[in-house]
Amino acid sequence: MATATQKNGGKTARKAPAAKTQDQRMKWWREAKFGLFIHWGLYALPAGTWKGKKIPGIGEWIQNRARIPVREYEQLAARFNPVDFDAKEWVQVAKDAGMKYLTITSKHHDGFALFKSEASDYNIVDATPFGRDVCAELARECRKAGIRLCFYYSQKQDWHHPEASGNTWDFDPAEQSFNQYMKDKGLPQIREILTQYGPIGLIWFDTPQDMTRAQSKKFVDAVYDAQPTCLVDGRAGHGIGDYESMGDNLIPPGRVDGDWETPATLNDTWGFKSYDTNWKSADGLIRRLVDIVSKGGNYLLNVGPTAKGVIPKASVTRLKKVGDWLKVNGEAIYGTSASPYPFEPGWGRMTAKGSRLYLHIFRWPGKQFVLHGLENKVKKAYLLADPKKKALACEQSVDEAAGLHTLQLALPARAPDKRASVVVLETAGAPVVDETLVQDGDGLVTLEAYSGEIRQPTGTAPLERGRFGTIEKWLNTRPRVTWQVKVAQPGTYDVNLLTQTESDGKWEGGHRAKVSVGRQTAVATTRKAEVRDNPRATSYLQDVVSPLGQIEVNRAGLVEVTLKMEKIVKKKGIGPKLRAVELTPA
């Protein structure tokens, strides 16, 4: 189980916010679930190309990646004239997407501010022909639309300032004084963005790098001093802040405790790049939103407007589709808490609110749906998409010997929404579940690496848990991974081993893997029988499926499944990167 390290973050560091309890301060954010991130600045002009060359990497990093001298890059300001910028339209994009807050780059790493600043004239009002304060205009429109305005602020990197970090091509790091930068620009600008635009929802610091704890604390205190109710994200440094910010585009596996958020891109860049068209599908965005919320997180989804001030149409249409889904299913998202189950079922995800459990079904089962492990009585079940809330027939039973609670639901043959259809279960009291890993109602048993227990003999090089919920560094044959799982349907199962590729597509087979349940074993050499998209990093990781044979499970109830590697090929030195073991009814 992952843990959001900031769950009490900020409590010791904070000076001012005593006026409200932490729960009161966090309330709007915990209910909001979905926000718009906007990366916008001078980098929208080159849009990924400098002097005729396509510069690899994310668009807002072009100055750094192409080592553009300050004196050259800052001339972009004289050409920055986003005449099509319309704050009302941008806020409407967020509103139509069902988003509740908007976080814009008030200053990104290039040091250029999107607000009127006395601390530095390298800002949109003083340095561009446009001359308008976009933060002021957005503040006005956000207020009217009931959207919380929040500011991203790059506190450590400022490639324009001689005393800040990140620009090693113009300035010598050995001669820099970050304290001087904080005094001259960093802290004054934090005060400006918190005093010029009314109440601010949160400040989104980023890349604290080697800041000292005292420096991080100064920034955070400056926020809390100016606006005690303003939240601070988890990238202020040193674990200070109100919630944890996950890695970019990183959706953690399983259950996550504490408050957290995943910042994510719609394509592969944050700032606009004219040739990045690798857009995520609306279906994928809806499922990611559900996935994140089912684990208790918030989804901060980014757009990168053009230099004219337009949010790309491809972004707007996708976001609108998410918003349309939320119009029907928002009750199962806003203000909900994480699924009471600590694992991810194969058929979809769950969220909860009061005495309601919401089943977000991705894999529609046809006319019958089975859920194991829910212990409360279900008073009524219905589809959220059904305006009449017609009750779905449901039956509950308990198999005492197997320790298994089963709910059977009658569903229409076709899904109301193929991306995610929500069934509401009104339960007697808040949902209570058996937290033991259990077979899915449709028969699949998924044993994900993140929920497996590593049995590591002493003296062997330790297996490691990877960012995407894998088990890695499996380079010797002595460790085992085990799962305790409740099986509902005894019978014969096909056993598959799923191992993950490297991001460059590298994968190594030829290992000998053995899965056992009691005396039953399935053992085979790993090979690429099938390749699937990795659900956590669809665009660049894949799962390789190796069939291991069959095993027989002869009774319902709790069983222990063990995975051992009997032989490991080490030619490429990566070993099997375990994603999951799957048991499918034969």
The binding site for ligand FHN (CB under 6 A) comprises: 58, 60-61, 206-207, 248, 263, 270
Give whichever of 4 and 545 is closer to ligand FHN, judged by the CB atom.
4
Least separation, in Å, of the C-beta of 270 and ligand FHN? 5
Give whichever of 358 and 468 is closer to ligand FHN, judged by the CB atom.
468
Least separation, in Å, of the C-beta of 216 and ligand FHN? 16
Lookup: tokens for 134: 């976009």
Least separation, in Å, of the C-beta of 153 and ligand FHN? 11
Q: Are 303 and 38 in contact (CB under 8 A)?
A: yes
Give whichever of 107 and 321 is closer to ligand FHN, judged by the CB atom.
107
Give whichever of 38 and 139 is closer to ligand FHN, judged by the CB atom.
38
Distances in Å between the Cα of 317 and the Cα atoms of 313, 421, 457 are 6, 21, 53
Give whichever of 129 and 247 is closer to ligand FHN, judged by the CB atom.
247
H helices of 196-312, in order, are 213-226, 282-294
Q: Are 64 and 170 in contact (CB under 8 A)?
A: no
What span, in angstroms and rounded, lies between the C-alpha atoms of 74 and 113?
12
CA-closest candidate to residue 355, choices 406, 290, 427: 427
Report the residue closest to ligand FHN, judged by CB.
263
CA-closest candidate to residue 96, choices 311, 389, 304: 311
Q: Phi/psi at 311 (nearest 5 deg)?
A: -80, 125
Lookup: tokens for 99: 């988003």
C-alpha 503 chain-centroid distance = 18
Give whichever of 235 and 321 is closer to ligand FHN, judged by the CB atom.
235
Least separation, in Å, of the C-beta of 313 and ligand FHN? 22
What span, in angstroms and rounded, lies between the C-alpha atoms of 324 and 98?
8
Q: Phi/psi at 529 (nearest 5 deg)?
A: -85, -30
Q: Are 283 and 325 in contact (CB under 8 A)?
A: no
Indicate the residue type of 221.
D
What span, in angstroms and rounded, lies between the C-alpha atoms of 444 and 306?
46
What span, in angstroms and rounded, lies between the C-alpha atoms of 300 and 289?
9
Give whichever of 236 and 513 is closer to ligand FHN, judged by the CB atom.
236
Give whichever of 84 and 248 is closer to ligand FHN, judged by the CB atom.
248
Give whichever of 207 and 456 is closer to ligand FHN, judged by the CB atom.
207
What span, in angstroms and rounded, lies between the C-alpha atoms of 262 and 243?
11
Give whichever of 234 and 575 is closer to ligand FHN, judged by the CB atom.
234
211-219 long-range contacts, CB within 8 A, separation 24+: 211/155, 211/156, 211/178, 211/237, 211/238, 213/237, 213/238, 213/240, 215/178, 215/179, 215/182, 216/240, 217/13, 218/182, 218/187, 219/155, 219/182, 219/186, 219/187, 219/190
Least separation, in Å, of the C-beta of 271 and ligand FHN? 7
Give whichever of 101 and 334 is closer to ligand FHN, judged by the CB atom.
101
Q: Are strands 378-383 and 394-399 parallel, antiparallel or unpaired?
A: unpaired
What span, in angstroms and rounded, lies between the C-alpha atoms of 13 and 6?
12
**Across the strands, what pairs with 53?**
50
What span, in angstroms and rounded, lies between the C-alpha atoms of 581 and 449?
8
Lookup: tokens for 397: 């039973």
Least separation, in Å, of the C-beta of 366 and ligand FHN? 41
Give whichever of 104 and 289 is closer to ligand FHN, judged by the CB atom.
104
Q: Are 245 and 232 in contact (CB under 8 A)?
A: no
What span, in angstroms and rounded, lies between the C-alpha atoms of 576 and 119?
53
Least separation, in Å, of the C-beta of 154 and ligand FHN? 8
Give whichever of 43 and 493 is closer to ligand FHN, judged by the CB atom.
43
Distances in Å between the Cα of 243 and the Cα atoms of 9, 25, 107 are 7, 11, 21
Give whichever of 61 and 219 is closer to ligand FHN, judged by the CB atom.
61
Residue 242 φ/ψ region, left for φ over 0, alpha for ψ in the -120 to 50 degree band, beta for the rest: alpha
Least separation, in Å, of the C-beta of 105 and ligand FHN? 7
Least separation, in Å, of the C-beta of 142 and ligand FHN? 20
Least separation, in Å, of the C-beta of 335 and ligand FHN? 25
Least separation, in Å, of the C-beta of 119 and ligand FHN? 21
